[in-house]
Amino acid sequence: MLFRLALAVVSGFAAAAAPGIAQLPPPRALSPEAALDDVRLARRAIETIHPGLDRYGAPGITGAAFDVLERESESGITDQRLYALLSAALASVRCSHTKAEPWKEWTAARETGATYFPLRFREESGRMLVARSASPAILAADEVIAIDGVPAGIIMATILNAVPADGWTDGARRFALFNSSDLDDCEFDHYYPFYFGGGGERVIEVRAAGATRSRLERVSLVTRAARREALRQPAAARNLDESITLTFPQEGVALLRIGTFVAYRKQLDPEAIYRPYFEEIATKAAASLIIDLRSNSGGSDEAALDLLRFIAKEPFAPRGSRWVKAYRFGDLRDKLETWDPSVLDMPDDAFRKLENGYYEVLSPQVPAFAPLAPAFTGRVIALCGPANASGATLCLATMRSRFGVTLAGEPTGGSADGPTAGIIFFVTLPNSGIRVRVPAIRSVSGMTDAAATGGLTPDVDVRSTLADELAGRDPVLEAALGLAQRR
């Protein structure tokens, strides 16, 4: 149903949006043969390799989405429309690592073109609110009613249809809509031009907070760099060592913020990075530790593991297994790219066939992990939220199930059962230049509190609103500080 909504919206608004894309590459027509060749290659790669098609729903859902896409391509299609509909088909897999990347010319044009709203938005209770504004005519807390006559609800529903997420974690998808994306500043920024055009000016219908009547405001789009500068919005930390801060908001309470677990872009030793912070916590004799992971989507396994070792009271053994759907790829092999080409030629004895049809990846027995000194042995509270994707959610689930950590905040985006990720294959579609990401490994954590729909529900559910943000309040942290003071 949602895929058909996206198809209908693209059909209805693409023509009206076309004049506004002067600063982006114009739509390039693909012949029926070229379009079908690309669609069928993407489909074959997903159906052959992806080990999670049945993880959160019937695999027929994705097959039906590709059926619609093939029928749409039979009469020819533009590269931009193909990308929009392919993204929606891939999102039906319900896997945050399964998505498409635009072709190089498009990405380069967006880096320099004035195609971004001078605004940042927020979804709240089904409403589209202005969170930050660099336009004098529009204020933070204004509600967006429509853009170029298209109702805000239609815009959000259409783009949400293309936003990937692990399982049925729709709160995480709504969060990513305006707050995160590894393809752009947020998913709205990334997908809006494909569905509704980009560049030039936009007429936005807004309503002030508490007002009964709306007004129309004309807004000129800007470059991404100009928006960041105007909104004084620093880029998020890309590496573990840049993302950590330690404060002591109350006597006896330490607050450790870790914005990412990424330790692979630079040669980083997570244990060495964490140790000075835990030494300072020990020096201050803090009785409670609040670990704020709310902006952490995951990254390197070593970074999450070493954090766990600094709060462990005794050695703990790893759990879980890894499955693949296939490790021989036939003629697809030459079309697959990845950062470790050796995985394309793994020996047969590296796998064990399971009764469910998957192959388990056999790994050497790993010894128990010892706590790292100075290990924190007091009360630990972890802050979580919809930005927590695969690795961060798995870390949070381990904290609670293995170490008794209390979780406070909002439900997470990733699955406590483990991500479908590991090795990612990249398939470049020859005619459009679109690149499809196909994860190859299904992690199975064995966590008893892993929800069948994905996501992790906190022990203490606390929601933060735009009004809180604008007033400088942090109700999640306030709740955690209250918990930390209890004895």
- Distance, C-alpha 255 to centroid of its chain: 25
Q: What pLDDT shows up at residue 38?
A: 98
Q: What is the DSSP letter of 405?
A: P
Omega cis (within 30) before 374: yes
φ/ψ of residue 253, rounded to 5: -125, 125
Q: Are 152 and 144 in contact (CB under 8 A)?
A: yes
Report if pTM > 0.85. Answer: yes
- Between CA 273 and CA 144 the distance in angstroms is 43
Q: Which tens digits make up the pLDDT trace of 243-263?
A: 999 999 999 999 999 999 999
Alpha helices in 292-432 (DSSP H): 301-309, 390-403
Bridge partners (DSSP) of residue 407 are 382
Q: Residue 263: which of 239, 245, 234 has the closest Cα?
A: 239
Q: Tokens 């002030």 label which residue?
A: 208
Q: Are 311 and 403 in contact (CB under 8 A)?
A: yes
- Between CA 34 and CA 14 the distance in angstroms is 21
- Between CA 302 and CA 309 the distance in angstroms is 10
Q: Which tens digits make up the pLDDT trace of 376-390?
A: 999 999 999 999 988
- Between CA 239 and CA 259 the distance in angstroms is 8
User: DSSP string of 215-254?
Assistant: EEEEEE-B-HHHHHHHTT-PPPP-SGGGSEEEEEEETTEE
CA distances 441 to 53, 110, 164, 262, 424, Å, are 12, 32, 17, 19, 8
Tokens coding 197: 């055009």
Torsion, Cα 246 248 252 254, to 10 degrees, reads -30
Three state DSSP letters for 275-299: HHHHHHHHHCCCCEEEEECCCCCCE
Q: Are 67 and 36 in contact (CB under 8 A)?
A: no
Q: Tokens 């929601």 label which residue?
A: 463
Q: Tokens 């809509």 label which residue?
A: 177
State the DSSP H helix or E strand holding residue 264, giving kind and residue range, or none if neither: none
Q: Tokens 């998505």 label which residue?
A: 99
Q: Are 81 and 26 in contact (CB under 8 A)?
A: no
Q: Are 222 and 118 in contact (CB under 8 A)?
A: yes
Amino acid 349 reads D
Q: What pLDDT shows up at residue 27?
A: 95
Q: CB atoms < 10 A from the CB of 420, how many?
A: 27
Q: What is the DSSP letter of 19?
A: G
State the DSSP H helix or E strand holding residue 189, giving kind and residue range, or none if neither: helix 187-196
Residues above pLDDT 90, as percent of the chain = 78
Q: From first to last of the 487 residues of the chain, give the pLDDT tens digit.
A: 445 545 555 554 443 344 444 578 999 999 999 999 999 999 999 999 999 998 887 678 899 999 999 999 999 999 999 999 999 999 999 999 999 999 999 999 999 999 999 999 999 999 999 999 999 999 999 999 999 999 999 999 999 999 999 888 888 999 999 998 989 999 999 999 999 987 789 999 999 999 999 999 999 999 999 999 999 887 778 899 999 999 999 999 999 999 999 998 898 999 999 999 999 999 999 999 999 999 999 988 899 999 999 999 999 987 789 999 999 999 999 999 998 899 999 999 999 999 999 999 998 877 889 999 999 999 999 999 999 988 899 999 999 999 999 999 999 988 888 889 889 999 999 999 999 999 999 989 877 666 667 788 999 999 999 999 999 999 999 999 999 987 6
